[in-house]
Chains A and B, each alone.
Chain A
């Protein structure tokens, strides 16, 4: 009886966790059902397995070029991730190591602007992008995404904790400042860079409001807005929309499986500073 009571939380939490994942399992299984079975399900598992939904989604069509959206999303998210990692690491190196005047105030300003809600920036960024003639191009999503403060803040926190002795040894050995940055600081910051990269990729991949506002032509859409369009034009064909959803989610689930520990650990510690 006592043992039973001790394991009660295990049982409750396992059940809860399963119920959180259940909708995703239903989504995956249903995407392999023919439409008639989607609308009138006998059971969660398909009676009549079919890949027709996927064939239809992946087939080329002018109104819903899914593969094109996938490639757009991949290009934008990858570019954003690489640029954010590079810019943040460079800026953090300058702020923590190069003793430039005013960098402390700059960092303070960056952190302060992180508190501003994103909705405040929608209208002015749209106007700026339209002046730069960047609307309806991938750069409308890429360039503004490099301005966020999270990366610089994270890299500064991490670089401060790295001991200077290795860098000093490298400098004495005649290494240039650029060489020290490339060969000493960057490799030492690899864990923080990986965390930043994962978070940036997920954020960019899942961005919905940005592409909704800054993109116009269907062929330039990213997956989230593409899926939303798909859903509104194929309102009742849930088999199809669920297949698109699975395809859009799969890359993220892979990223999550690989970096699960890193993602959750850094999420967990972000509350400690608050």
Chain B
């Protein structure tokens, strides 16, 4: 009985600790090991240690470099627009006069974020369809020429970014609104008395006070954008001419269509390092501004 009393407390943490060890800690080390190994499930050969070969191959691989550019392009288009629009929506919601109306608007802005990526992608693929899509239908009824949207190299990525904006901006806006609502009311009153206009109140009070939340929103959006996959994969399959094939899609195809697991793992680490570097830079730059 005595041993049971001593062991019992550990039983509470065992199920989670086991899952955590097997599916977070172990995969972390497996991912590390895989990156230095040549493991191809299509050949019968066992895994062989190859040092930094996978990384060297990735850095010289034009397809990997292309997917890297595509991903950075997505990040550069999507992150600033998401954060700026989220901020505008948050300020707009804060300026609303009725509490119930604000809460309703907040919920409505968030609803698209509840959709599965497959549903959102299919819906917008139809909107963007060149022949019978809704957007071209609208353009035509206004007497304007049709646009190729996601089937053109130039417009595909901006179109996907537009859909992503609709899909994800609500969550960020909710976070920023909560941040704005934390600012004590006296600050606004004092600024108004001093004759500060709306723009000045925004830049001098709202922005600095909301900076920690803004930083959080920026970092999570950046981390998410670097891992873009579902919407590009489903709307364009990475095309046209690889114009929207992201790094995660290339990793997916390498590891699970061509079964080159070692090479896939190495590219995962490279993407991870890129994400970590970007997050750290954002963190330090934004932290330092007010010092």
Residues of chain A at the chain B interface (Cβ within 8 Å): 6-7, 9-10, 12-14, 16-18, 20-21, 23-24, 26-27, 38-41, 86-88, 90-91, 93-95, 98, 100, 103, 106, 110, 113, 116-128, 143-144, 146-149, 152, 177-178, 181, 202, 205-206, 208-209, 212-213, 223-225, 227-228, 231, 236, 238, 241-242, 245, 248-249, 252-253, 256, 260, 263-264, 267-272, 274
Contacts and interface: CB of A to CB of B under 8 A. Distances in A.
Nearest to A231: B122
B67 to A, nearest CB: 12
A7 to B, nearest CB: 6
B227 A117 contact: yes
Contacts of A205: 116
Contacts of A14: 101, 105
B127 A119 contact: no
A14 B101 CA distance: 8
B108 A106 contact: no
B15 A90 contact: yes
B97 interface: yes
Interface of B: 8-10, 12-13, 15-17, 19-20, 22-28, 30-31, 34, 89, 92-93, 95-98, 101-102, 104-112, 114-119, 121-127, 132, 134, 137, 166, 170-171, 174-179, 182, 212-213, 215-217, 219-220, 223, 226-227, 229-230, 234, 248, 251-252, 255-256, 261, 264-265, 268-269, 271-272, 275
15 contacts: A9-B92, A10-B98, A17-B109, A94-B13, A119-B248, A123-B251, A127-B261, A144-B19, A147-B16, A147-B19, A228-B118, A248-B116, A256-B107, A256-B114, A271-B217
Given A213-B256, A264-B106, A87 B19 contact: yes
A70 to B, nearest CB: 13
Contact of A90 (B16, B98, B256): B16
Given A18-B108, A252-B114, A245 B9 contact: no
Contacts of B22: 128, 143, 147
A274 B212 contact: yes
A157 to B, nearest CB: 16
10 interchain residue pairs of minimum CB distance: A274-B216, A268-B178, A9-B95, A124-B27, A124-B30, A147-B23, A94-B12, A271-B175, A91-B16, A17-B108
Nearest to B101: A10
A18 B112 CA distance: 12
A13 B116 CA distance: 25
A86 B19 CA distance: 13
A41 B127 contact: no
Contacts of B134: 26, 41
Given A121-B31, A264-B174, A177 B13 contact: no
A86 B208 CA distance: 41
Given A98-B12, A271-B213, 17 more contacts: A9-B97, A17-B108, A23-B124, A87-B15, A88-B16, A110-B20, A119-B272, A120-B271, A123-B261, A128-B27, A146-B23, A202-B114, A205-B116, A249-B114, A256-B111, A264-B174, A274-B212
Given A123-B34, A267-B175, A41 B116 contact: no
Given A39-B132, A274-B215, A144 B118 contact: no
Given A10-B96, A242-B122, A256-B114, A116 B272 contact: yes
A7 B19 CA distance: 53
B251 A122 contact: yes
